Amino acid sequence: MIRVGLVGYGFMGKMHSECYAAAGAKVAAVADGEAERREDAAAKLGCKAFENVQALLDSSEVDLIDVCTPTYLHEEIIMAGISAGKHVFCEKPLSISNESCERIVAKVKQTGIKFMTGHVVRFWPECIVLKETLDSGRLGKPVWASARRLSQPATWAWQGWLGDPAKSGGAVLDLHIHDIDFLSWILGPPNKVFSTGCMTDKGAMDTALTIFIGDVSGEAEASLAMPDGFPFTNSILVVCEKGSVVFDLNSEHSLIVRPAGQPEEYPEVPQPAAKSTEAGGNVSSLGGYYNEIAYFLDCLKKDRYPEIITPEEAAFAVRLCLAARRSAETGEVVAV
């Protein structure tokens, strides 16, 4: 059984712990700076609990560490895990800056450990089927795409860290990155972006609209500033030469394929049996979270490097987001 050292036992850490249990792995240790969370983890998971990642690495036997901390802490924890010879799974985004991402990618290459960033949209059940539909070629090549992800402010975040741009990068790096990465994956990476957005009084961009400029055009919209009562909204539309595909989280049919001139289709979307019992945030299903962790565990068991999302692609997603933020700040088209 693969033994996991989980760093950070907040909302996402709890989600990941459920995924590991459902996938047949054991969370053997948890590190968290909050005593109450350590006690909670030890009681629920029957694991050791430590105040920081180095204590975890020094005092427990684990095969991999899973990083579920605020973004600004990612690099330090990732590097500690790699230096200890552990495989690493890290929540997105990879890190807070391009320079930090480059250091991480270089360290991964140097050591040869298995590493993956949790770009969960690539593993979301509907998005898996959406990409399979595009890859089949039956609708022809994508012509353009549009994505939307809207949420109320992330008030569940520990000590409000998501609202601090120095710690999270704001909505662009935390929320917008989901669709920016997915569109780049299915359309091909853009070479330029143009973005506009709204800023908070803390200097964070909490609403953004980004246009991809490349071989295939696309646009993505994201907001962490929706009013109280507004439902979490997520949709992706891809228009192809011979039809279209749309994913809409809040629709009766979450995925619809419309071949040109033909009746619309509702493809079967395989859903993991695993369900979440942890409340909070804007996600209630293990869905893609289970899929990505099960995939990473399978890579470890089969001694192969993850291919669905590589360290280089995770770093490029951060580069795209930072370029989008720079475009919004300057009002100019920015090369990636």
Q: Is 167 in contact with 71 (CB distance < 8 Å)?
A: yes
* Amino acid making up residue 127: C
| Domains, in order of start, for the chain | 3-119 (3.40.50.720), 121-273+310-335 (3.30.360.10)
- Provide the pLDDT for residue 166: 82
pTM of the model: 0.94
Q: Where are the beta strands (DSSP E) in the chain?
A: 3-7, 26-31, 48-50, 64-67, 87-91, 115-118, 142-150, 192-199, 205-213, 217-223, 233-240, 243-248, 255-259, 334-335
Helix (H) or strand (E) holding 288: helix 287-301
Residue 8's pLDDT band, with cuts at 50, 70 and 90, is very high
Query: How do beta strands 115-118 and 87-91 pair?
Result: parallel
- Decide if pLDDT at 284 tops 70: no
- Provide the pLDDT for residue 202: 65
- Provide the pLDDT for residue 83: 97
State pLDDT tens for residues 82-105.
999 999 999 999 999 999 999 999
3-state secondary structure of 168: helix
Residue 279's pLDDT band, with cuts at 50, 70 and 90, is very low
Handedness of CA 295, 297, 303, 307 (dihedral sign): positive
State pLDDT tens for residues 135-190.
999 999 999 999 999 998 877 767 777 777 788 888 999 999 999 999 999 999 99
State pLDDT tens for residues 23-64.
999 999 999 999 999 999 999 999 999 999 999 999 889 999
- Decide if pLDDT at 302 tops 90: yes
State pLDDT tens for residues 198-229.
877 666 678 899 999 999 999 999 999 899 99
- Considering the chain, what is the average pLDDT of its residues? 93
Q: What angle is formed at CA 121 by the lines to CA 65 and CA 17, rounded to 5 degrees?
A: 35
* Amino acid making up residue 266: Y
Residue 311's pLDDT band, with cuts at 50, 70 and 90, is very high
**List of residues 6+ apart from 160 with CB closer than 8 A:** none
Q: Is 218 in contact with 194 (CB distance < 8 Å)?
A: no
| pLDDT > 70 in the chain, percent | 94
Longest CA–CA span in the chain (Å) reads 63
Q: Is the peptide bond before 231 cis (omega within 30 degrees of 0)?
A: no
Q: Mean pLDDT across the stretch 252-276?
A: 92
Closest CA to 22 of 289, 283, 304: 289
Pairwise CA distance, residues 175 & 183, whole Å = 14
- Provide the pLDDT for residue 36: 96
- Provide the pLDDT for residue 278: 62
Q: Where are the beta strands (DSSP E) in 200-260?
A: 205-213, 217-223, 233-240, 243-248, 255-259
More confident residue, 161 or 120: 120
